[in-house]
């Protein structure tokens, strides 16, 4: 950790978790990310819909019996009644449960962190946005890649006008893990991500295409005006899309081109972002996240690196190790929680905070993006109004 950059306030928070029981992937990632910052202690949980598994996880994590709950509904109700109620809840259940769990805690006025997607339907997204405003809570949706320091630097460069007027945005997210029908072998992640009951109306766009949409908006603040999408399913018998092409026009007049695929043989997690403006361009590749390529018109391409002294303050503040030491996924996740917890601590101490994190509005924008892509594809890739006004 760079001295003074991430030490933050000494104030402590408490949190609870829904999900993250035996065999879970993302739940333990959230716990590890929170632990890296030393700002919040896990004190409550409902880790599984099987109570014996919840008890097992609670024991491993040192959670007391009186704060180990059979259901998330019980947890929301009983925590809200306590004088030492948790400061926030981390929701890491399967996608189809996000809305119900989030609503239960929102109704009790408890701050929320929810893994993406926010929910499945636009009406659900609107309800969560309205409840968040009504209850005046802090609601973060964890779009992991916005936690990388060099993505923060890209945002700062765009804000500073270094690229001039944005003209074109090209982004892709190819993977190959669903190139074969592994959902039929009992592979858990594949089974639910390709099942409409648990994944919603889209697999590929809903799972990874929304990361493209969010990353582009986070860095450039470009609002989509209209889009044309083609969603494809290459693996025979699969119910949802595994490949997608999306053309976009933004309100500013810029254009965009997104490709998301889970059948791109040879690619593991190839998220790439390229932004072209009238005065310069940026390029970032998720598998080499500590570098950002920056080119000014008429100048040679520069390679900007994490933790270098020439970066903007926002990027510097998200670096944890000296330059040259690689940082990755866990550190990015921890950075999201650092910003979020700093915000909660500031509210408790009645001080100002300008921390930036992806919130319930960003989550709602992602939900609408998925619906717009599916609608366009179902209309033979017709251009449709994709403006966001939730």
Report the pLDDT value the prediction gives residue 10, as an integer from 0 to 100.
Answer: 54
96 in Cβ contact with 200 (< 8 Å): yes
Instruction: Note the helical H segments in 221-359.
Output: 313-317, 329-348
Report the pLDDT value the prediction gives residue 279, as an integer from 0 to 100.
Answer: 98
Q: At CA 146, angle to CA 208 and CA 93, rounded to 5? A: 55
Q: DSSP 3-state assignment of 129?
A: helix
Instruction: Note the helical H segments in 6-121.
Output: 26-37, 51-61, 72-81, 98-106
Angle of the 210-220 helix axis to the 149-159 helix axis, nearest 10: 50
Q: DSSP 3-state assignment of 280?
A: strand
Q: At CA 261, angle to CA 361 and CA 237, rounded to 5? A: 110
Q: DSSP 3-state assignment of 49?
A: coil
Angle of the 26-37 helix axis to the 329-348 helix axis, nearest 10: 60
Whole-angstrom CA distances from 143 to 115, 116, 119, 163, 210 are 8, 7, 14, 24, 9
Mark the ranges of the chain whose per-residue pLDDT is less than 70: 1-11
Number of H helices, E strands in the chain: 13, 14
Instruction: Note the helical H segments in 170-293.
Output: 188-193, 196-199, 204, 210-220
CATH of 147-320+364-385, one of 3.40.640.10, 3.30.360.10, 3.40.50.2300, 3.90.700.10: 3.30.360.10
Whole-angstrom CA distances from 121 to 117, 183, 357, 369, 372 are 10, 24, 22, 11, 11
Report the pLDDT value the prediction gives residue 97, as an integer from 0 to 100.
Answer: 96
Q: Rounded CA gap, 374 and 196, in Å?
A: 13
* DSSP label at residue 223: P
302 in Cβ contact with 310 (< 8 Å): no
Domain boundaries, the chain: 13-145, 147-320+364-385
- Which is nearest to 16 in space by CA: 64, 52, 51, 53? 64
- The residues with which 284 forms a beta bridge, in sequence order, are 273
Topology of 13-145 in CATH? Rossmann fold (3.40.50)
288 in Cβ contact with 268 (< 8 Å): no
Encoded tokens for 365: 């924008």
User: How many angstroms from the chain centroid is the CA of residue 293?
Assistant: 23
The burial class, CB within 10 Å (0-12 / 13-18 / 19+), for 247 is middle
User: How many angstroms from the chain centroid is the CA of residue 95?
Assistant: 13
User: How many angstroms from the chain centroid is the CA of residue 39?
Assistant: 20
Report the pLDDT value the prediction gives residue 147, as an integer from 0 to 100.
Answer: 97
pTM for the predicted model, two decimal places: 0.94
Domain 13-145 matches domain 147-320+364-385 at the CATH topology level: no
């Amino acid at each position: 950790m760079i001295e003074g950059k991430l030490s933050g306030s000494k104030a402590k928070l408490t949190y609870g978790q829904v999900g993250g029981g035996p065999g879970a992937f993302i739940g333990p990632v959230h716990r590890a990310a929170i632990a890296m910052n030393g700002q919040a202690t896990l004190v409550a949980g409902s880790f599984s819909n099987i109570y014996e598994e919840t008890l097992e996880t609670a024991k491993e994590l040192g959670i007391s019996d009186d704060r180990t709950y059979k259901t998330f509904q019980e947890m929301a109700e009983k925590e809200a009644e306590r004088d030492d109620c948790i400061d926030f809840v981390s929701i890491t259940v399967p996608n189809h449960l996000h809305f119900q769990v989030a609503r239960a805690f929102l109704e009790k006025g408890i701050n929320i962190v929810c893994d993406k997607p926010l929910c499945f339907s636009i009406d659900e997204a609107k309800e969560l946005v309205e409840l968040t405003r009504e209850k005046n809570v802090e609601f973060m949706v964890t779009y992991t890649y916005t936690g990388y320091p060099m993505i923060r630097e890209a945002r700062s460069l765009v804000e500073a006008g270094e690229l001039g007027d944005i003209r074109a945005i090209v982004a892709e997210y190819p993977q190959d893990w669903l190139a074969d029908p592994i959902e039929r072998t009992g592979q858990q992640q594949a089974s639910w991500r390709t099942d409409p009951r648990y994944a919603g109306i889209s697999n590929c766009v809903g799972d990874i295409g929304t990361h493209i949409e969010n990353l582009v908006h986070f860095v450039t603040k470009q609002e989509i005006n209209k889009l044309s999408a083609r969603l494809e399913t290459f693996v025979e018998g699969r119910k949802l899309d595994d490949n997608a092409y999306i053309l976009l026009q933004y309100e500013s007049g810029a254009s965009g081109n997104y490709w998301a695929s889970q059948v791109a043989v040879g690619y593991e997690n190839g998220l790439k972002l390229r932004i072209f403006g009238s005065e310069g361009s940026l390029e970032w590749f998720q598998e080499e996240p500590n570098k950002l390529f920056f080119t000014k018109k008429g100048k040679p391409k520069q390679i900007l690196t994490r933790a270098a002294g020439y970066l903007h303050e926002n990027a510097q503040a998200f670096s944890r190790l000296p330059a040259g030491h690689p940082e990755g996924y866990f550190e990015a996740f921890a950075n999201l929680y650092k910003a979020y917890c700093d915000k909660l601590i500031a509210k408790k101490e009645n001080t100002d905070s300008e921390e930036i994190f992806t919130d319930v509005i960003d989550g709602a924008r992602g939900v609408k993006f998925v619906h717009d892509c599916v609608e366009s594809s179902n209309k033979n890739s017709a251009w449709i109004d994709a403006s966001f006004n939730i």
